[in-house]
Amino acid sequence: MRTLLLVLAIATLSSACTWVKVSDDGTGVAVANMANVRNCEKLRNVNVKVKASVGPIDRNADKVATELANLARNEAASFGGDTVVPTSEIENGSQTFAVYKCK
């Protein structure tokens, strides 16, 4: 019983936290949609992944999406990109983003 309560407590607390933060360089990268990047140069695609569940408990979908976008922004900055656009749905905590240079 204690183990179950501990697992539930950890899952509840961790589902409320955003584990992936935007880096200093990543703050200069926007998340956009395809309509916003028509006049931009596509640099590459990046695949990012975070934990979608803690043990048997799924994490909050909005938190997972935010963390994936944060990771994509951080990655884009390392390639000289200033905008990312999601190009796939989130699947098992993974998503693909296109990296663009718009400025």
Domain of 13, CATH number, reads 3.30.1660.10
pLDDT at 11: 53
Band the pLDDT of 103: cuts 50, 70, 90. Answer: confident
Half-sphere exposure of 12 (CA within 13 A, CB side): 6
pLDDT at 10: 53
Report the pLDDT averaged over residues 55-76.
95
Written as six digits, the tokens of 98 are 């296109």
Query: Do 64 and 50 contact (CB within 8 A), yes or no?
Result: yes
The helix (H) or strand (E) run that includes residue 27 is none
What's phi and psi for 20, nearest 5 deg?
A: -105, 120
Q: How far is Cα 19 from Cα 40, in angstroms, rounded to an integer?
A: 30
Written as six digits, the tokens of 32 are 């956009």
Q: What is the pTM of this model?
A: 0.81
Which residue segment(s) compose the domain that 49 sits in? 2-101
What's phi and psi for 3, nearest 5 deg?
A: -65, -45
- Total domains present in the chain: 1
Q: What is the pLDDT of residues 8-61, one digit of tens each?
A: 455 555 445 567 899 999 999 999 999 999 999 999 999 999 999 988 899 999
